[in-house]
């Protein structure tokens, strides 16, 4: 049974990806700052084919990152790391002229530094098992949207880090994945007071994600 780590899996896309991979027979190690050690509800009678291991914590914490990798290696292998955890920054999004720099550092810490640090810990096991690294990105990384300078710059940095990692680690697949606009809490925070019910739910992109990690195309940017 293959094993994946998915960060930021207490809600939204991370939660949807966890459900999809578990249903496909994966063991999935998940984290989240608001994640409880045990599921909030009892397991349904029809349990998924895979296993979900919950490791609550903050991905910016070095001890927590080590615990995530340790939990995965406890299954005997690590095949996939999904760097999904992220923060938007201020809500509503301010123009760069007014962007609080202390907050910008936090946005880069969560969206760029922490994923790279976790990837560094996971790479030895991923190399051994022909593994893969997925970093969830955004069209804000490649398009200039007013008000999205902080978040977009962080996602652009994460994309370039993935791009270089793909060259440096030929034994590992590296994909930076843009899931599009989804109906998530983070997206709602980006547009406070607006109705985002026209956006698709995160579950709509999970089949394409499972196809990606199953088919294992060449490293690169992927739009789900």
* Domain ranges (residues) in the chain: 3-223
C-alpha span between 224 and 222 (Å, rounded): 6
Residue 52: alpha-carbon gap to chain centroid: 16
pLDDT of residue 194: 72
Catalytic residue among 151, 175, 176, 209: 151
pLDDT of residue 41: 43
pLDDT in tens, the chain (224 residues): 999 999 999 888 999 999 999 999 999 999 998 886 666 443 443 445 899 999 999 999 999 999 999 999 999 999 999 999 999 999 899 999 999 999 999 999 999 999 999 999 999 999 999 999 999 999 999 999 999 999 999 999 999 999 999 999 999 999 999 987 777 767 667 777 777 777 778 889 999 999 999 999 999 999 99
C-alpha span between 54 and 58 (Å, rounded): 13
Relative orientation angle of helices 114-128 and 149-168, to the nearest 10 degrees = 20
Q: What is the dihedral of CA 40, 44, 48, 51, to 10 degrees?
A: 40
Q: Is 151 tagged catalytic?
A: yes
Element (H, E) at 135: strand 132-136
- Which CATH fold topology does 3-223 show? Rossmann fold (3.40.50)
Neighbours of 147 (CB within 10 A): 16
CB 78 within 8 A of CB 72: yes
């Amino acid at each position: 049974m293959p094993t994946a780590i998915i960060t930021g899996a207490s809600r939204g896309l991370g939660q949807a990806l966890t459900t999809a991979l578990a249903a496909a027979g994966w063991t999935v190690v998940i984290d989240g700052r608001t994640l409880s050690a045990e599921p909030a509800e009892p397991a349904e009678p029809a349990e998924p084919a895979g296993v979900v291991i919950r490791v609550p914590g903050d991905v910016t914490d070095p001890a927590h990152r080590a615990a995530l990798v340790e939990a995965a290696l406890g299954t005997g292998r690590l095949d996939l790391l999904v760097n999904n955890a992220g923060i938007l920054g201020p809500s509503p999004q301010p123009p760069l002229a007014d962007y609080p720099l202390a907050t910008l550092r936090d946005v880069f810490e969560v969206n760029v530094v922490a994923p790279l640090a976790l990837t560094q810990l996971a790479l030895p096991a991923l190399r051994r098992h022909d593994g893969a690294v997925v970093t969830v990105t955004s069209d804000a990384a490649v398009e200039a949207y007013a008000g999205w300078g902080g978040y977009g710059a962080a996602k652009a940095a994460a994309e370039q880090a993935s791009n270089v990692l793909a060259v440096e680690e030929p034994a590992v697949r590296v994909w930076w994945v843009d899931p599009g606009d989804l109906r998530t809490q983070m997206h709602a925070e980006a547009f406070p007071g607006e109705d985002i019910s026209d956006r698709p739910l995160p579950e709509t992109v999970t089949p394409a994600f499972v196809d990606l990690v199953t088919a294992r195309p060449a490293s690169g940017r992927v739009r789900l």
